[in-house]
Amino acid sequence: MSDPTASLAALSLSGPGGKVVVNTAVVGEWEDAKAAYTGPKLSRRMWENENHAKMEGLDYVFRTTYDDEANPTGMINLGMAENTMLTKDYLEYYGKVFSKALRPNDFTYGTQGSASKRFHKAVADMWNENFSPLTPVQPDDIATAPGATGALDQLFNVLADSGDAVLIAAPHYNGFDANMVVRSGAQIVNVYGPPPEIAFTTPGAEIAAFEKAMEDCKAKGINVRAILLCSPQNPWGRTYSKEVLLDYALFAEKHDIHLIADEIYALSVWDNPKIPNSPPFISMLSLDVEKETGNKFDKSRLHIVYSFSKDFGCNGFRLGVIISQHNPLVIRGLLHISFVAKLGSIGDALISHLINDKPVFKALVAKNIQALRDSSETMAAFCEKQGWKPVPVNSGHFMMVDASNLGFKDMEEERDFGRLCVEFGVGVGLGQSYHALTPGWLRLTHTYEPERLNLALSRLGKAVEAWRSRA
């Protein structure tokens, strides 16, 4: 789940320009609300939570979101990674199979401590059939959580102590800033390496930046507990070569830390002629690190995070998984906290049924890949018409765009542009939200059905015109 763009989080919490209250519990600024509070004592955790603006901004985004019938003037958020291109297909399919998919046990607490036995088996089968793991995934290698957000939150409760660090290549998905931090107390260290045309395919290039980051952390007395690999990468929308993935594994082994591979876009990959040598998606579970490199690799340090939100257009189902094939103690530790975030039966039942319906599963995956290719081309064409430079992508729901011709002098002007877009009914992902170092970058989602995407681009075009014509 992506938190809102920095522009939305920075708005007055009563709505754009302070004009509209969309949540009566969220009026005025957080600091003012705390200062005025006179009730019984609340926890220090709540009092010191630094994510208040992001989370309240996210609530604002959801409450004001576009709906062609219920809210046609609502905001279409090109800063949120959602895929609605096949929603009608899924509605039709699930409508037909609902009574078959749902079983009597789905009305009880279920058949095991986290998700159902049915779901665990379906996930294992899907991984084995699509990603060629070196060792077949077994149902008991899996823990579940409400989405990848919940999976990372729970995983870091097991892996990290407060103050421990996780290294992540930046720019990166802005949700990581909350997912692994809010409850565990861990901290993120952003690692800036080479540009995308080098980082994803050149052995040693990106990992050199991680070595420098590790040295810096040691000098500061920061304990690094993990390195996170986002593959395919968000926000660059690119896949990694086998050689670079092996670099990550050997780095984790060298420094005796955990390697977490977020593979949430594993089935959202296509061929892009503008990236002729782009590698296919390769799951970390498919690599024989020791055979490939001749070096030792302790597989107990490898954990895969996945969610059905992106590849299957169902962010609202909240179906996340953690696969840890060679560390049963981690799976056991996750089981201890799983019941407080147990998956709901309906999403569990419907996705399990889809995975087991092999012809439909394959057809929908193929249709989604073609839709991804088409929508990315539509977005790239729009950006080029604006004089922007979209970075070619071959995976995910979005693309990074160099929109520096908008002339932002600094990050504050970039935020001003984000606020202006909101006034025109469209949200954009500002580069600073993903830890880009210079103003002028946008991350734009392209995975809406054509009618909604075209409407969003029309609104964005008008916002750009207004920005360029300002006094």
What CATH number is given to the structural domain containing 199? 3.40.640.10
Judging by beta carbons within 10 Å of its beta carbon (0-12, 13-18, 19+), is residue 154 exposed, middle or buried? Answer: buried
* 434 & 450 share domain: yes
Range of the structural domain that residue 260 is part of:
112-356
* 318 & 418 share domain: no
pLDDT level of residue 307 (50, 70, 90 thresholds): very high
* 231 & 322 share domain: yes
Asked whether residue 167 is domain-assigned, the answer is yes
Asked whether residue 94 is domain-assigned, the answer is no
pLDDT level of residue 158 (50, 70, 90 thresholds): very high
The CATH number given to whatever domain includes residue 53 is: 3.90.1150.10
pLDDT level of residue 9 (50, 70, 90 thresholds): very low
* 185 & 283 share domain: yes
Lowest mean pLDDT among 7-21, 85-99, 167-181, 352-366: 7-21
Query: What residue has token string 């009730």?
Result: 39
Asked whether residue 104 is domain-assigned, the answer is no
- Is 60 exceeded by the pLDDT of residue 11? no
* 242 & 190 share domain: yes
pLDDT level of residue 21 (50, 70, 90 thresholds): low
Q: According to DSSP H, which parts of 256-357 are helical?
A: 289-293, 328-338, 345-356
Residue 145 identity: A
Yes or no: say if 141 and 387 are a contact pair by the CB < 8 Å rule. no
Both structure tokens of 402 = 């160099």
* 217 & 73 share domain: no
User: What total number of domains does the chain contain?
Assistant: 2
Asked whether residue 98 is domain-assigned, the answer is no
What SS3 class is residue 427? strand
- Is 90 exceeded by the pLDDT of residue 182? no
Asked whether residue 158 is domain-assigned, the answer is yes
* 302 & 438 share domain: no
pLDDT level of residue 47 (50, 70, 90 thresholds): confident
Give the CB-side neighbour count of residue 80, counting CA atoms within 13 A. Answer: 26
pLDDT level of residue 470 (50, 70, 90 thresholds): confident
**Domain C-terminal end among 323, 356, 389:** 356
Asked whether residue 408 is domain-assigned, the answer is yes
- Is 50 exceeded by the pLDDT of residue 17? no
- Is 60 exceeded by the pLDDT of residue 183? yes
pTM over 0.75: yes
* 167 & 203 share domain: yes
Rg from Cα positions in the chain? 22
Tell me the per-residue pLDDT of 308-346, one tens digit each, with 9 for 90 and over. 999 999 999 999 999 999 999 999 999 998 888 899 999
- pLDDT at residue 10 in the model: 42
Asked whether residue 106 is domain-assigned, the answer is no
* 342 & 379 share domain: no
How crowded is residue 291: how many other Cβ atoms within 10 Å of its Cβ? Answer: 9
**Domain C-terminal end among 356, 375, 390:** 356
Residue 365 identity: V
**Domain C-terminal end among 340, 356, 372:** 356
What SS3 class is residue 75? strand
DSSP 238: -
* 37 & 161 share domain: no
Alpha-carbon gap, residue 79 to 37, rounded angstroms: 34
- pLDDT at residue 22 in the model: 77
- pLDDT at residue 341 in the model: 86
- pLDDT at residue 7 in the model: 41
Asked whether residue 51 is domain-assigned, the answer is yes
* 178 & 241 share domain: yes
Contacts of 72 (CB under 8 A, 6+ apart): 66
DSSP string for 147-167:
HHHHHHHHHHHHH--TT-EEE
- Is 80 exceeded by the pLDDT of residue 401? yes
* 71 & 206 share domain: no
